[in-house]
């Protein structure tokens, strides 16, 4: 949506606007933990209308995006959803896209403010192909829920997380907490945003983030920096097809997965709740006096209390109690392994990982 956007749903009673990348929608409507519980139970929806929306039309749309990105797109049927990445030649994440196949187009949902740069890149790669890229961010918005929103005919993207897509690979355990949180994004006309949400209780971005962190799902606007490769965030599950054809960054994906290790790993942190505060994004994660990573997201969960995601060095002992240091405040933190320290080097070794056979 860009700077200056203000959702009409900020007019709801109790709405307090979010800051940073989520400015323009509500952080909460007066009771963030209660909102998170209702969102999880399917009794509320969330306003994500500040997210950007693009569409790709034209006969070559699927095969074209397939050649550019990390996921298989060319066999996507209308109504099907997936997730894909655009990578640098070094395999670093440059864009993340939630892709929904509609009847005669692909709909892309991306982070707030990311649409213009993505549109520019995609247009630079059109050449003579039969594709057309349109930025719908000013005319369309997103409503999120853990179930379909009744009364709307909006296209719906269904989050594949934490499943292991065809051609994907999981670096974390099978009993994944993300299975407890279905996640649906409804793409609505911005003029119909208020009417689509009229009969619904609302949850703010604090609730959305609490559920996302508890589901161990990375967010492009939070867990990513200029060095991030997909392996570090367990994104080989849903956003990378290991058997598809060439795309930029593929060599790094294959090399790290088969014969190397990702240098860092995302980790879930259960924070000491006695502080009655949350660490800020970027707070240092330490083992003793040694800094081993940084907090990328933090939230207060309605059941688990203060929780966070952090990206830390791969070789940190999973049994080590960490400390999160934010200014003068130190939070003891126990870690729950998401990406295992021995992730990678799978060539000739097929135990300890979830894998789906390549299809198509």
On the CB side of 256, how many CA atoms lie within 13 Å of its CA?
Answer: 23
**Cβ atoms of 281 and 256 closer than 8 Å:** no
Distance CA 214, CA 232 (A): 17
pLDDT 10s per residue in the chain (360 long)?
656 899 999 999 999 999 999 999 999 999 999 999 999 999 999 999 999 999 999 999 999 999 999 999 999 999 999 999 999 999 999 999 999 999 999 999 999 999 999 999 999 999 889 999 999 999 999 999 999 999 999 999 999 999 999 999 999 988 999 999 999 999 999 999 999 999 999 999 999 999 999 999 999 999 999 999 999 999 999 999 999 878 999 999 999 999 999 999 999 999 998 878 999 999 999 999 999 999 999 999 999 999 999 999 999 999 999 999 999 999 999 999 999 999 999 986 544 444 554 444
Distance CA 275, CA 300 (A): 12
DSSP state of 321: P
Helices (H), 14-113: 32-40, 61-68
Is the C-alpha dihedral spanning 94, 98, 100, 104 positive or negative?
Answer: negative
CATH topology (fold) of 8-233 = Gyrase A; domain 2 (3.30.1360)
Bond preceding residue 162 cis, omega within 30 of 0:
yes
Distance CA 146, CA 45 (A): 8
Distance CA 216, CA 212 (A): 6
Q: Provide CB contacts within 8 A for 60, sequence distance 6+.
A: 129, 130, 131
Q: One fold for both 8-233 and 264-337?
A: no
Predicted confidence (pLDDT) per residue in 242-294, tens digit: 998 789 999 999 999 999 999 999 999 999 988 789 999 999 999 999 999 99
DSSP-based three-state secondary structure for 129 = coil
What is the torsion angle, in degrees rounded to the nearest 10, for the CA atoms of residue 219, residue 36, residue 48 and residue 218? 10
Class of domain 264-337: mainly beta
Please state the domain extents for the chain. 8-233, 264-337
């Amino acid at each position: 949506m860009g700077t200056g956007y203000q959702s009409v749903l900020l007019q709801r009673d109790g709405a307090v606007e979010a800051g940073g990348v989520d400015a323009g929608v509500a952080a909460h409507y007066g009771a963030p933990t209660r909102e998170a519980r209702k969102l999880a139970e399917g009794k509320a929806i969330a306003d994500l209308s500040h997210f950007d929306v693009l569409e790709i039309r034209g006969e070559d749309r699927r095969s074209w995006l397939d050649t550019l990105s990390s996921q298989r797109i060319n066999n996507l049927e209308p109504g099907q959803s997936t997730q894909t990445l655009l990578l640098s030649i070094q395999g670093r994440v440059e864009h993340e896209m939630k892709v929904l196949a509609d009847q005669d187009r692909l709909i892309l949902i991306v982070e707030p403010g990311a649409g213009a740069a993505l549109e520019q890149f995609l247009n630079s790669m059109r050449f003579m192909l039969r594709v057309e890229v349109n930025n719908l961010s000013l005319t369309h918005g997103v409503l999120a829920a853990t179930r379909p929103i009744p009364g709307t005919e909006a296209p719906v993207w269904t989050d594949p997380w934490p499943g292991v897509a065809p051609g994907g690979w999981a670096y974390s355990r099978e009993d994944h907490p993300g299975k407890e949180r279905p996640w649906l994004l409804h793409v609505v006309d911005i003029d119909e945003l208020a009417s689509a949400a009229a009969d619904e209780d609302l949850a703010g971005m604090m609730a959305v983030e609490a559920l996302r962190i508890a589901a161990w799902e990375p967010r492009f606007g939070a867990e990513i920096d200029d060095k991030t490769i997909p392996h570090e965030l367990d994104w080989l599950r849903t956003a990378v097809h290991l058997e598809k054809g060439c795309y930029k960054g593929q060599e790094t994906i294959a090399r790290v997965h088969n014969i190397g290790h990702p240098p860092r790993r995302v980790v879930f942190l259960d924070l000491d709740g006695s502080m009655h505060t949350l660490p800020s994004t970027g707070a240092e994660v330490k083992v003793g006096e040694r800094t081993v990573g940084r907090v990328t997201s933090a939230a207060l969960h309605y059941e688990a209390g203060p929780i966070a995601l952090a990206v830390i060095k791969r070789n940190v002992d999973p049994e080590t109690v960490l400390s999160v240091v934010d200014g003068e405040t130190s939070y003891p933190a126990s870690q729950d392994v998401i990406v295992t320290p021995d992730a990678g080097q799978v060539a000739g070794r097929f135990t300890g990982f979830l894998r789906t056979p390549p299809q198509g």
